[in-house]
Amino acid sequence: MNEVLQHAIAQAAAVLAGASRVAVLTGAGVSAESGVATFRDAQTGLWSHFDAQQLASQAGFSADPGLVWGWYMHRLAMVEAAQPNPGHRALAALAGHVQTLTLITQNVDDLHERAGSQRVLHLHGHIGRFHCNECGASYYLRPEDRQASLPPVCHLCNGYVRPGVVWFGEMLPDRILDEAWQAAERCDVFLVAGTSGVVYPAAQLPVVAQRHGACVIDVNTEPSLQSEYADIVLLGPSGETLPAVLAALPAQSG
C-alpha cells in the first residue's frame, strides 16, 4: 500500500471516529471482488455485443424480452454463486463503531445482507425478486424459468414477469429514496464506494451530503466522478481499503 493511500486511510479513520451519523453509498465495484461483474463491465463473453444501458430498460425488455430475461438469469446465477468480500464485511462492522449508519446501495445483489448489514436501502431493487411488468403481481422464480427462452407469463394478466430492479426511466422506490436523501442531509460523513457516479438520482446523494456540511470520502480503484469533489479519496480496491479504514479506527470509538 503506497504512502498516499496510507495517509488517506488514516484521514478517513479519523473523520469516521469523530462522526455520529454516517451514510454509505455503494455501487457495483464493492461486489467486484466477490466475482460479480460491475454494471459497466457486465457485458462479458456471451453478452459482449449488447449494451447494458439498453438491456436495463423498458424499451430493451419490450424489444427482446427473452434476451433481457437471459441476461438477468445469467447475472442472478453470478450473484448466487458469489460470497461477500472483506469490503462488505468492513461496512457491516462499521455500523458497530458509529451511532447511526445508513447503508444505501445501488446494487441489486444481497451481499451486504449476507455480510451482516442489518438494514440496507436498495435504491435499484433486487435481482432475486420478480413481479409482473404489467400488473405488478409478485412471483417466485421456478427452477424451469432459469433456462427459459422467454420470461414467465403472469397468470392474472398475461404480462411478462420481470426482475424487481429499477430500469432507466423508472422511478426509484419512494420511501427508500426519501430515507437515503434524509441520511445524506443529516450525516457528518458520507462514504461512497465502488460507484462510477454516472447514474442519477443516486449520484446526487454525496453532493447533497457535502452541501449540508458532510465530509465526503470516495473509495474506488480509479478516479471517479465523486473523486473530483470528495474531501478524501482512497484509490484502491474496496475489499482492501475498507478493512484498512476499519482497522485504523480507534478501539474506543462508537
Catalytic annotation, residues? 124
Segment contacting ligand BJW by CB under 6 A, of 2-10, 12-20, 93-101, 170-178: 170-178
Q: Which residues are CB-contacts of 84 (< 8 A; sequence separation ≥ 6)?
A: 34, 111, 112, 114, 115
Does 200 contact ligand BJW by CB under 6 A?
yes
Chosen residue from 3, 144, 174, 222 binding ligand BJW by CB under 6 A: 222
Is 116 within 8 Å of 125 (Cβ atoms)? no
Does 170 contact ligand BJW by CB under 6 A?
yes
Chosen residue from 39, 61, 69, 139 binding ligand BJW by CB under 6 A: 39
Reply yes or no: is the peptide bond before residue 151 cis, omega within 30 of 0.
no
Residue 33 interface partner, choices ligand BJW, Zn ion, none, CB cut-off 5-8 Å depending on type? ligand BJW
Name the maximum alpha-carbon separation found in the chain.
61
Does 80 contact ligand BJW by CB under 6 A?
no
Q: Which residues are CB-contacts of 221 (< 8 A; sequence separation ≥ 6)?
A: 29, 235, 236, 237
Provide, rounded to whole angstroms, the least separation between the CB of residue 185 and ligand BJW. Answer: 18
Residue 104: alpha-carbon gap to chain centroid = 7
Chosen residue from 23, 165, 183, 233 binding ligand BJW by CB under 6 A: 165
Residue 63 Cα distances to 101, 160, 177, angstroms:
41, 13, 29
Which residues are 104's β-sheet partners?
A: 25, 121
Q: Which amino acid, residue 7?
A: H
Residue 177 interface partner, choices ligand BJW, Zn ion, none, CB cut-off 5-8 Å depending on type? none
Size of interface with ligand BJW, in residues (CB under 6 A): 35
What does the alpha-carbon distance between residue 205 and residue 207 come to, in Å, rounded to a whole number?
5
Does 102 contact ligand BJW by CB under 6 A?
no
Provide, rounded to whole angstroms, the least separation between the CB of residue 246 and ligand BJW. Answer: 15
Q: Contact residues for ligand BJW (CB under 6 A)? A: 27-29, 32-33, 38-40, 56, 106, 108, 124, 165-172, 194-196, 198-201, 219-222, 224, 237-239
